[in-house]
Amino acid sequence: MNELLLQGLVNGIILGTIYALIGLSLNVIFGVLRVVNFAHGEFIILGAYGAYFAQQWMGLSPFVAMPLIFAVFGATGYGLYFLLIRRLAKSDDPEHASLLVMFGVAIALGALMLIFFEADSRSLAYSIDPPFFMFGSIIVPTSKLLALGIIVVITAILAWFLYRTLPGKALRAIIMNRDAVQIVGVDLERMSAMTFGLGLGLAGITGVLVALIFPSFSPFIGQDYTLIGFIVIVLGGLGHPVGAVVGGIIFGLTEQTALVYTSGTTATLLGFLLLIGVILVRPTGLFGREALK
């Protein structure tokens, strides 16, 4: 195997885990709330700005800022649930209504960021020693390696939460059957608000990681992350946590190995074609069950 391809595969796995994290938080929200968070990418970019300003104003390193951002975003999500999401459940078609409301939130949030942070791209000014590691002939920047480590830890904590704790089990039970869990006494309202908080908190953390790994960010690119998140969750199956991880890594690998041979535009296009291909063969995604009603 040639070295370039190997480098592409390594990049693919690392970026794939970031995509997986985006998909994971989107899928937790969709699974529990039936809300398609169109504004996810904007929240991610807001997280990136959070890391940027935490460093500029308070001198906090991004790693210290991360739990803070998780807490702030989590609380915001908890509040937003009562402000926006709860009312949607009563609409004729909650899924589409949620998609549209979050679309509005995305537009408004993008505009707010443009007004407050201006249109210039920003990048996080920090350095780690050593700046990169060499594995044979493969270069892996330390920041990416750290991000990979953080994502693995977050995913492990999330998996433990979902599969080993009582609220986590309740949350998965809601994904499986909304009506039945109410009968057994799960407080759907509180769980839903908590889930939205969890989803946005994870989006905030993803933003810090995005600021760490990618050279720059601006108010305009939120949409790109939303789209990647959508591709990942549709690939893996809507509402399925494991599907999101697999979908993210497949998408990352496809994009990054394609990048070895072609331009960025072609690589992105291939990602979209992968999605369309999978959907036509398996309309429910790799792990999903219910796309066709």
Partner 1 sequence: MEDKLDSKIKILIWIGVVTLLTVCFAAVPLFTDNLSFMFYMMLWIIMASAFNFVAGLAGYMPFGYVAFYGVGAYATGILYKTFGLPIPVALIGAGLMGVAVGLLLAPTLRLRGVYFGIVSLALAMAAKLTIALMPAEITGGSLGLILSSANNPLAAYYAMFIVLLMLLACGTWLSMSRTGTALRAIRDDQEAAAVVGVNVVGTRMKAWISAALFPALVGGVEAWYTNAIDLESSFNLLITAKSIVYAMAGGLGYLVGPILGSGLLYGVDQLIWRQFPTLNLLLLGVIIVVLMLMLPRGIVGAFAQRFSKLRKYIP
For residue 43, the one-letter residue type is: F
Q: Which is nearer to partner 1, 90 or 164 (CB)?
A: 90
Q: How far is the CB of 108 from partner 1 (least distance, A)?
A: 3
Q: How far is the CB of 49 from partner 1 (least distance, A)?
A: 17
Q: How far is the CB of 62 from partner 1 (least distance, A)?
A: 28
Q: How far is the CB of 6 from partner 1 (least distance, A)?
A: 27
Q: Which is nearer to partner 1, 212 or 275 (CB)?
A: 275
- Give me Rg for the CA atoms of the chain: 19
Q: Which is nearer to partner 1, 94 or 167 (CB)?
A: 94
Q: Which is nearer to partner 1, 149 or 283 (CB)?
A: 283
Q: Which is nearer to partner 1, 108 or 128 (CB)?
A: 108
Distances in Å between the Cα of 76 and the Cα atoms of 27, 79, 193, 199, 203 are 19, 5, 10, 11, 12
Nearest Cα to 203, choosing from 102, 135, 128, 87?
102
Q: Where do contacts with partner 1 occur on this chain (CB under 8 A)?
A: 36, 84, 87-88, 91-92, 95-97, 99-101, 103-112, 114-115, 223, 227, 230-231, 234, 238, 263, 265-266, 268-269, 272-273, 275-276, 279-280, 283, 291-293
Question: 139 — phi, psi (to 5°)?
Answer: -95, 125
Q: How far is the CB of 261 from partner 1 (least distance, A)?
A: 14
Q: Which is nearer to partner 1, 21 or 275 (CB)?
A: 275
Alpha carbon dihedral 207, 211, 217, 218, in 10-degree steps, equals: 50
Q: How far is the CB of 167 from partner 1 (least distance, A)?
A: 26
